[in-house]
Structures are given as structure tokens and as C-alpha cells.
Amino acid sequence: ASDKANVLYSPANYARVLKHVAGRFLRGPFVLVGHSMGAVVSLRYAVMYPEDVRRLVVVDAPGVLHRYSVTSQYLAHFGLEFVPPVAEPLDWLTNLARKILAPLERLHFDPQIILSSPQLRKTLLEADPAKIAGLAVVSEDLHQELPKVRAETLIAWGAQDTLAPLRTGRVLALKLPRARLAVIERAGHEPMLEAPERFRAVLEPFLERGLQPEPASAAAPLAKHGDASCQRERNRVFEGEYDSLTLEGCQQAQIRNARVRELRVLDSTVTIDDSRIGGGETGIHASNSTIVMTGGRVEGNVAITVSASRFDLAAVEVEGREAAVTATLRSYVVFSLCRVHSPRTRGEVHEFYAVTAKNPL
């Protein structure tokens, strides 16, 4: 028989244990370094005991984003397959609504119910501490707490991490008040083992001196492109300023560091990074498409209009003077650490929504 207890191995409970250990062996504020699951525990510790943490190092933290965002690879690592593990986030999202989110929505699936019940932990997670902790980590909701982290924070991330995608590190850098992201090239989920010299080159200066001012650099003016379009192409990249941009039948398109007054996405998949969309009647029109957006802003009288589409938004500000999101056909939106302003929805949003004509946001 196993001597491992069927208890809740959550980041908050681990943080309480760490507080007990720190109280016995340390005096005064200290530097806290956490990797993977330990990084999520360290974030929770910095929220619960801010006076203890002089500096914080977060390395390749899983979770953080909403659990319906791209967490499948991390869960699969623990033998949990609540969502199907695949390589491409956009491919995963394309099948998300049909295979996973719609049934879970109807069943009112909530991992917290499993985690809080000893019987369900035993039945569904085999009372396995690794599985319990893995599910607890990807279910950890920090969206209200991250802005409260007072410590200077170094976010170190392996560029090729498939268990905790680099997107999560970018979101943390946007949401933590005093943070900087250091990307370690040619490294995956364990950069301290895979690229130890490059990892030390990032870590040691921060341990000694904290965050140093970055050299000032003037932002280059955006190139103006007027109206542009993409017709049945793959891997097109759009940067700069556009009056309108239309993507039709375009797969794996990328919009980055852009300013687009009106974006139309039809039968396409697209990632949008650090861009501002909108300013007129509607920011994004999407039909039968998948959009993954990180950072930036979408605005309009109606910020987003959707039809049979899927959105995954992280650290995005969405402002709709009449509505944030409206739908003609049922669509799915995952918000991770987003700020939404509309007559119906206001404030920090970290939720999954099925949007219909009768239920706008």
C-alpha cells in the first residue's frame, strides 16, 4: 500500500509548508526561485507572504492561463487527459469547442470539485500526488493576485518549452508589476539543465543586483499599408499599420506589433501578438475561424463579432462601447487574465464563455 496521502497538493498548501520551513531556517526577506510546479507555488507564496520575498524568479511555470487554454501538454505529462495533447495550439483550439468545451460546459465540469473531494481524487486521479498536484497547478487562478506581487521578478523561459508554452511567460511579464522576461534560446522546459551557461547568465546578475534599467530605445514608426488581404495562403506575417486587413482561407497567419483599424477573419487561423485592433464600429469580425491573441487591445462600438468561431485571449484589453463580444452563431471565447469593458462585462476576466446571439458579453 502506498504511504502517500490522498490530500490536496495545491500551490497554496505547498506555500504554507514552505512558510513553515522558511520560518525555521531563514531570517528576513529572501530570494525565492521556483521552476515548473514550484514556480506556481512561488507565485502563490509571493502573494500570500509578500514581506518574505525580496526577489522572485519564475522559471517555466505551467498553468497561469485559464485551464481551457493550452494546458493539454502539461496535463498529459502527469497522465491526465482532460484535453487532448497535440503539438499545435491552433489545431487544438480548432477542435476545442466540439470535442471538449461544449460537453464540459453542459456537465458544469469544475476541477475544484474533484480536487476538494477525497473520493473523487481517489476515483478520477487514483489518489496520485503527482496527478493531484498537476491538476491543482493548471486550475490555480491567480488573475486577481498577480498585480499584488510586490517583489522584483525575473521570468526565465525556455524558448522551446512544450509543457509550459512561452506564451505564458509573456503573459506573466505583462501582468506582474515589476517583471522582466528572459527567453533562453535552444532550451525547453528545463533550461537550467538544457542550457546551464545561458541560464546562469540570466539568473546570476538578477540575484546580485535585481532588475537593471533597460537601455532606452526609440520605437520605430509603423509602416503604413492601407488596406491588405490574404487569400488561401499559409504562414503570412503582417506587421505595421492597416486601415483594414482581411484574411480569407488563410492558415497559421500571424499579426504582430500591428495597428489594424478593422480586421476580418474568414475560414482562417491566426495568432495576434502585441497589437491594437479596432477604433471604428467593430474591431474584429470572425467567421468559422480560430484566433489566439496575446497582449494588446481590441476596441469598437462592438469590439468583436463572431460566428462559429473560437477565441483564446490572454492579457488582452477588450473595450466595447455597446458590447465586448456578440455572436450570430454560437462561438467560444477563453479569457485569461484579460481586462474587459462593456455595458455587460467589466473588470478582470478569467473565464470561458459560450457566446450566442442571446448572450453577448
**pTM summary value:** 0.84
For 32, 34, 267, 304, the CA distances from 310, given in Å and listed in that order, are 38, 33, 11, 12
User: How far is 234 from 251, CA to CA, in rounded Å?
Assistant: 5
What is the fold, at CATH topology level, of the domain defined by 11-209?
Rossmann fold (3.40.50)
- The type of residue at 132 is I
Q: Cell numbers at residue 10, please?
A: 495545491
Enumerate the H helices of the chain as residue ranges.
Answer: 11-25, 37-48, 72-77, 89-94, 96, 102-107, 111-116, 118-125, 129-139, 166-175, 191-194, 196-209
Phi, psi (5° rounding) for residue 234? -120, 145
237 in Cβ contact with 252 (< 8 Å): no
User: Three-class SS of residue 33?
Assistant: strand
User: How far is 158 from 34, CA to CA, in rounded Å?
Assistant: 14
Q: What is the pLDDT along the chain (361 residues), one digit of tens a residue?
A: 344 565 445 778 889 999 999 999 998 999 999 998 889 999 999 999 999 999 999 999 988 998 777 544 444 444 444 443 333 444 444 444 444 444 444 444 566 666 566 676 566 666 666 665 566 667 778 899 999 999 999 999 999 998 888 999 999 999 999 999 999 999 999 999 999 999 999 999 999 999 998 877 667 888 999 999 999 999 999 999 999 999 999 999 999 999 999 999 999 999 999 999 999 999 999 999 999 999 999 999 999 999 999 999 999 999 999 999 999 999 989 899 999 999 999 999 998 898 999 999 9
Measured from the Cβ of residue 119, the count of other Cβ atoms closer than 10 Å reads: 10
Question: Please, how many CA atoms are within 13 Å of residue 118, restricted to the half-sphere of its CB?
Answer: 3
**Given this model, what pLDDT does residue 126 score?**
60
Which residues are CB-neighbours of 307 under 8 A, at least 6 positions away?
286, 287, 288, 327, 328, 329, 331
Q: Domain boundaries in the chain?
A: 11-209, 227-355
**Given this model, what pLDDT does residue 109 score?**
53
**Given this model, what pLDDT does residue 71 score?**
46
User: How far is 56 from 321, CA to CA, in rounded Å?
Assistant: 38
- CA 335, 331, 135, 39 torsion-angle sign: negative
User: Three-class SS of residue 132?
Assistant: helix
**Given this model, what pLDDT does residue 10 score?**
72
For 84, 267, 284, the CA distances from 288, given in Å and listed in that order, are 21, 5, 13
For 114, 200, 234, the CA distances from 155, given in Å and listed in that order, are 31, 13, 32
**Given this model, what pLDDT does residue 62 score?**
86
Phi, psi (5° rounding) for residue 65? -70, 165
**Given this model, what pLDDT does residue 340 score?**
98
User: How far is 252 from 164, CA to CA, in rounded Å?
Assistant: 20
User: How far is 27 from 9, CA to CA, in rounded Å?
Assistant: 27
Question: Please, how many CA atoms are within 13 Å of residue 141, restricted to the half-sphere of its CB?
Answer: 12
329 in Cβ contact with 350 (< 8 Å): no
Which residues are CB-neighbours of 285 under 8 A, at least 6 positions away?
262, 263, 264, 265, 305
